[in-house]
Structure 1
């Protein structure tokens, strides 16, 4: 006989609403499963752990989703009310609900309600994460002990060949004292702090050497898989070439998300500094006339050269109470993957994109010639920045098109970054700076000054490298091809060679920002 749930309270009668409890991973939303990511995409209300960065969640979800920070036991009422209103709710946890002993009790409370459409998506539990980030292979029998809920007597500890202990840093000494009774003070243990972050520190020590730490969370692992010879073969995380490197990336107009992902893959922590600001044109008349022409069928082609041009046209259509359907019947051309993605967000697919390379000149070479027997119109609209796209305009004109360019937005130099960022740039607190264009070089130096001589300078191509040298910068890395993937890999290879040279010379492996800093001389006033 199947179990029957109790009757639902009248105010929470089942509707089309639902709740999905989604687990992710310890401190890393990138550990979301496909099922968890899909649940977030369709959620109306998302409740997140206080430790989760709301901005990271917002980048993964739809614009209509409401994101709220968990209020503990109050969450159950909010979830039930939202379901009764027909809303889809996601409760996002930074771990796994069923294997985290300190996970909130809301899951059990909501699951007991009858008629609710509830689902649970497993996350990466902190115990398996500790083994993976620590590069430890578990033995056939392994166990977990959560000492953050209290340090039990050693007689109550699990008996397994591999044991993973989670503790608060302040309780490290108490855990070590108890562990000494079982493993002796000379017993070897792997200490893991800041797990899963690019500041992770793993040390193979004895229980005698364990000291109190200020870390919120600390893992101790004992077992046959923790020895250095074994772990060195599997040290995939801390062994990344750019592990814990702090990289600054000046941004102009391009979307750098894919570059940041590439740098993350190699272990870097990236910080973007905007060097260019996008502003509306000084006068609106030309854009208003162009949008009216689009709606009235004045143009056969609409050519987008940047995501900002797409945004500018979309905003004007919205002001008139229209959406992307107003562009039906108009052929669309796009330059750049970012531009294509911006169109996709509006539900549009370009009819033409350059195949050879993503440049305006390449688009002109691949654009069809005007044929007065086939084409009902010969007008092409090119919304762009206040910087002319001459290769495109000239190329289309030679093909017989009547090209109209309109200033859709202006690019101006951005305001300087905060004072602490400027100071870190000048004093060499960044390990590397990665330039993606000559404009980025000029603008960053203009608003923040030159990077310190110890900072590694990487350029996406020869033109960008030449701009660096023109401004007195030593270029350490130049990408083989002008792509984000190539420049990130080139920087990673440089870091690998640098570390190998340090090891060969018998020197400690340090980052560029880890250097001896000169102490300022004290000025001694002459005696009177």
Structure 2
């Protein structure tokens, strides 16, 4: 049975500008064919089993020709797959989406189209430029300024000048002087405001606003690079007044988030909302164990406290109990201890309230709090990773607590974006790498190599995490408390 192809416009920048319909289509895909300008955070929405085909199109470089892309789409669909053709911006605006749909129709492949937010509108909006304004203009015109190397642009500049509206030129940075000279020759006022916006709607966005006559020189001096677009019109004069994005506190900061897949989203979303450019690069995965006998044996013994050291441990406990035909009522009679707020929240999601949270969210302080709360000859059931640190159980045992340490899951070091992160570090483009556990540090080091770990700022929560980072020569900053809120506060203080 033939599958389907959905053309999805991914929008510019991160997944914040991806439509809900687009996100749903990506989450259901068996295969995705994507271009260079699709952000990695959008690809993170794909199921783990999905086939990824990078066709890498960029200005002046098409490693996979359009005819071959068309064939790839048909081939994947004929394998019965649910295929997403993912394009930056909007798939029908200078994206050759129409050609691809024609080819699909000719070959009997069902398709649908989910429009995306175009950079022609989003990038100016993020730069404080409304493409229309009652006091400035009543029309906007989008033009491709892409031409083959050495060839003149085929643009009727005289007609564009007569329209007296906002002009947005896409894919035109390499032809900037042709655009400005063409408009000036056609009679546009030399003092007409104009702008070039690089990396629109991203935390690394830069812009140059000048007169049309001086724009090319200013852009050259600023060193702006593709991807970038050109905006010409009186609305550009509003840029400084209406610029809201570059005033965000973390704008211009590039932050790498190493939390596991499925848990990075909260921190990443908060950072993006504050203007940061965020790369999600999970460096560890949790793999739940299928052998439930250790848990079954432990439940046959008496314990005063059930101790959880991560949200993953809470989730793994629920799943292991279910495999035993039981549920969280099996912990009846035990008090519940959580190492930190995130773990306590995971318990709350299951309808349970943590009876104990340490003053500081780490293993040492958790052990101290448990020892103080434990009855004489008490027993603790640790429900955690097989690779959990030894400090907690050893400190409890030294205080006379009977400890049952049940490994519910394994922490596996794996980073799909190792090459991309290594490149960021080599270029000095990563301002901060965040670590929420010692295991994320170890996973990161395995991914990028110890030699690449010196010289950047590592923002850590918890003493054990900081200690692990220091071992590899990282410039360590420690949040006041082991919470996401305190990590963000530390960044805002100018890490």
Scaled to the shorter chain, the TM-score interval is: 0.5 to 0.7
Matched with 2:126 is 133
User: Normalising to structure 2: TM-score of the pair?
Assistant: 0.66
Q: Are 1:166 and 1:217, in contact at CA under 8 Å, matched by a contact in 2?
A: no
> 1:327-476 maps to which residues of 2 (within 5 A)?
327-331=324-328, 335=338, 350=350, 352=352, 354=354, 357=357, 361=366, 382-384=383-385, 385-390=388-393, 404-406=404-406, 431=431
* Structure 1 residue matching 2:293: 3-state secondary structure: helix
Separation of aligned partners in 1, 2:341 and 2:353: 9
Give the secondary structure class of the aligned counterpart of 1:233: helix
- Kindly state the Cα deviation for residue 127 of structure 1 after the two structures are TM-superposed: 1.2
Counterpart residue number, 1:155: 158
Q: Is 1:120 aligned to residue 113 of structure 2?
A: yes
Which has the larger displacement, 486-495 or 84-93?
A: 486-495
Gaps of 5+ in 2: 56-63, 148-152
Aligned to 1:226: 236
Q: Which residue of 2 aligns with 1:510?
A: none
The answer on 1:42 being equivalent to 2:42 is no
The CA distance in 1 between the partners of 2:83 and 2:337, in whole Å, is 37
- In structure 2, relative to structure 1, the CA distance for the partners of 1:46 and 1:199 (3 Å cut) is same
Q: Work out the CA distance in 2 between the residues paired with 1:474 and 1:49.
A: 35
> Alpha-carbon deviation of 1:292?
2.6
Give yes or no for the alignment of 1:179 onto 2:183: yes
Which residue is 1:523 aligned to?
none
How many residue pairs are counted as aligned between the two chains? 437
Counterpart contact for 2:7–2:97, Cα < 8 Å: no
Q: Which runs of 5+ in 1 are unaligned?
A: 1-10, 281-286, 318-322, 371-377, 496-528
Question: 3-state DSSP class of the match of 1:60?
Answer: coil
- Give how far 1:102 is off: 4.4
Q: CA deviation at 1:174?
A: 0.8
Q: Note the 1:310-329 alignment, pairs <5 A.
A: 325-329=322-326
The separation in 2 between residues aligned to 1:490 and 1:412, in whole angstroms, is 29
1:89 aligns with 2:63: no
Q: How does 1:30-69 map to 2 (within 5 A)?
A: 30-52=16-38, 56-69=41-54
Q: Give the secondary structure class of the aligned counterpart of 1:97.
A: coil
* Contact kept? 2:193, 2:235, Cα under 8 Å: no
Following superposition, the deviation at residue 484 of structure 1 comes to 1.5
Check conservation: 1:259, 1:484, Cα contact below 8 A.
yes
Provide the C-alpha distance between the structure 2 equivalents of 1:129 and 1:457, rounded to a whole number of angstroms. 32
Distance 2:255 2:196 in 1: 27
Q: Is residue 28–residue 94 contact of structure 1 (8 Å, CA) maintained in 2?
A: no
The secondary structure found in structure 2 opposite 1:258 is helix
SS at match of 2:125: helix
- The answer (yes or no) to whether the contact 2:454–2:475 under 8 Å persists in 1 is no
Question: For 1:443 and 1:115, how far apart are their aligned partners in 2?
Answer: 42
**Does 1:484 pair with 2:484?**
yes
CA–CA distance in structure 1, aligned partners of residues 71 and 178 of structure 2: 39
Distance 1:267 1:124 in 2: 19
Q: Taking structure 1 as the reference length, what is the TM-score of the superposition?
A: 0.62
How do 1:255-266 and structure 2 match up within 5 A?
Answer: 257-266=265-274
SS at 2:241's partner residue?
coil
> Residues 433 and 167 from structure 1, CA distance in 2 versus in 1: closer, same or farther, beyond 3 angstroms?
closer
2:205 matches 1:200: yes
**Is the partner of 1:202 in helix, strand or coil?**
strand
CA deviation string 1:358-383 (max 9, x = no partner): 86859x98xxx99xxxxxxx995634
Asked if structure 1 preserves the Cα contact closer than 8 Å seen for 2:34 and 2:86, the reply is yes
